[in-house]
Chains A and B, each alone.
Chain A
Amino acid sequence: MIRAVSFAAIAAAALAFATGSFGQDSATPAEPDAAKIAEGRQLYVEGCSSCHGMDARGVDEQGTSLVGVGAASADFYLRTGRMPLAEPGREPQRAQPAYPEDQIEALVAYVGSLGGPPIPTVDPNAGSISRGTELFVSDCAGCHSITGEGGVVVGGFAPELHQATPTQVAEAVRIGPYLMPSFDRNQISDADLNSVARYVDEAVQDPDDRGGWGIGHLGPVPEGLVAWVLATAALLLVARLIGERSEGRGPEEKP
């Protein structure tokens, strides 16, 4: 992961120096690993070019252009197994990554070399859980639910967040995969992003469950249902006890 980050940073830095348009994404200047990018290019041609085009500028109605999406998108889609798709037009969903680690690094290096934002750096420990809760409620919970269980967006799914790493959370916030809105630094600053990642890390993936039983973390409806089922069982038991004739007074015992 650290190597991937550095490659992405290298690619972004190279682009920043070339175009002058990514001045704020300043990264440590270093030699881009040409061999890695070439390896990535080879894998790209074999596995991705039929939809994204030999020049990575996209194919009409098939796949989007990858020029300018950056290492952040490539890292997110490949590491969460959302790409490659079984066929164009499918909703990208989380799966086992299709490529081994070193090949993902090569592909990320290649897509990163085409320009675009690097893999964001995120540190959940630097975030605030209360600010993260506030942001998650207002910007994320509508689709992913406050417990991160995900849900349905008409025409698609909002994924559950139990397996999302802090880096993947940050990438998704910045990219806006599939139907998700994207949030740039003006709306969610890097410090706020740390807080959102911390919320996902702690409250979603490691919840307290103070009641002792999370009941799927689906909220008050299933909790209420369980209460009703238990209470109904208790009431039936009580009704049975009341209705039973006391011993010694039943008709059978009549002398």
Chain B
Amino acid sequence: MKRIELAIAALLGCSAIASIAFVVIYVGGADTQGLGISLGAALAFLAAAVLLASRRLFPDTPVAEERPEFARPPEDPGVTAGPAAERAEELAGEIESPAEAITRRRLLIAAGGAAGTALGAALVVPVASLGPAVADRLHRSPWRAGLRLVDERDAAVTPAMIGARGFVTAFPEGVDKRELAAPVIVMHLDPSSLNLPPGREGWAPEGLVAYSKICTHAGCAVSIPRSPLYPPRAPRPALVCPCHYSTFDPAKGADVIFGPAGRALPQLPISIGSDGALIAAGELSGDVGPSWRGTRGGT
């Protein structure tokens, strides 16, 4: 019996060690595979310990209640001797006083406590990843009047680069391209089709419109520019988000015309500089990215 208790304690100890390893890996750089393996091992060892305890440590033999015996045929005396009878007596003793049947109780309790505490720590530590409060970062954007638009290879964006039915993903020159508010999608529209909201006169020179590329629904990249070859027989130009198919009308200030987005994409006023390259003529018209408390409804 004692060997089983020791095995259970060892399994619980291994679980505790794996949980501690999870915490160590998390603090030391959070290697994803390492985190997965250590947490998986902690849970597997715990499961093995519980399994072993339930199957081998606690008596689970069903015992029939005593009842008056029917007359036993004299030729069958029942089991009165041999290993089976000894086992039955031993079991009866265990059931009478289960406390004595399990030895090393304190060791098991200590091991179980260690495993539980370590696992709890492993589950709580990742809370540190929540990071600092968001504060006003949702309202900030790198776009300022006068910043040049560059493509992903830092080449200045010119109207010729975009073509009549083309598009370009542009970023503010000299700014980290991974910033949420940095990418804008620039596309060419027929200037006569433009119907921008009041106050945006001159924001779209030569029919070039620039909108934040981050969807206002869930923050995906709005990477589907719809650009009809034969407008009379095809859907009108649109910007479509591939995640949930929010569809924006670039001729009307990127108003939502389909899908779950709650507000228009922020527009970037642009102008054509003296060297022919596109430059920002101001800041984005609204907050970039998914709608949070305080941003939904604003454009």
Say whether B55 contacts A186, CB under 8 Å: no
Say whether A255 contacts B79, CB under 8 Å: yes
B208 interface residue, CB < 8 Å from A?
no
A255 to B240, CA, bound (A): 73
Say whether A154 contacts B165, CB under 8 Å: no
Say whether B224 contacts A142, CB under 8 Å: yes
Say whether B84 contacts A255, CB under 8 Å: yes
Q: Would you give the shortest CB distance from B151 to chain A, in whole angstroms?
A: 9
Say whether B242 contacts A143, CB under 8 Å: yes
Mask, A28-63, CB within 8 Å of B = 1, is: 000000000000000000000000000000001111
Chain A residues, Cβ within 8 Å of B234 = 91, 155-156, 178-179
Chain A residues, Cβ within 8 Å of B160 = 186
Say whether B163 contacts A179, CB under 8 Å: no
Mask, B195-231, CB within 8 Å of A = 1, is: 0000000000000000000000000010111111110
Known A-B contacts A155-B226, A175-B229, A176-B227; the reply to A183 vs B163 at CB < 8 A is yes
Say whether A183 contacts B242, CB under 8 Å: no
In the complex, which residues 144-172 of chain A have their Cβ closer than 8 Å to any Cβ of chain B?
A: 151-156, 158
A81 interface residue, CB < 8 Å from B?
no
Say whether B62 contacts A254, CB under 8 Å: yes
A203 interface residue, CB < 8 Å from B?
no
Say whether A184 contacts B235, CB under 8 Å: no
A177 interface residue, CB < 8 Å from B?
yes
Chain A residues, Cβ within 8 Å of B187 = 181
B245 interface residue, CB < 8 Å from A?
yes
Chain B, Cβ-Cβ closest to A184: B163
A138 to B226, CA, bound (A): 15
B258 interface residue, CB < 8 Å from A?
yes
A142 to B245, CA, bound (A): 11
Within the complex, which residue of B60, B165, B259 is in contact with A181, where a contact is CB–CB below 8 Å? B165
New contact pairs (17) apart from A154-B258, A186-B161, A187-B168, CB-CB < 8 Å: A64-B230, A142-B242, A154-B247, A155-B234, A156-B226, A158-B224, A179-B226, A179-B227, A180-B229, A181-B165, A181-B167, A181-B227, A183-B163, A187-B166, A242-B51, A251-B62, A254-B62
List residues of B whose CB falls within 8 A of some A CB: 51, 55, 60-62, 64, 79, 84, 88, 152, 158, 160-169, 187, 221, 223-230, 232-235, 238, 240, 242, 245, 247, 258-259
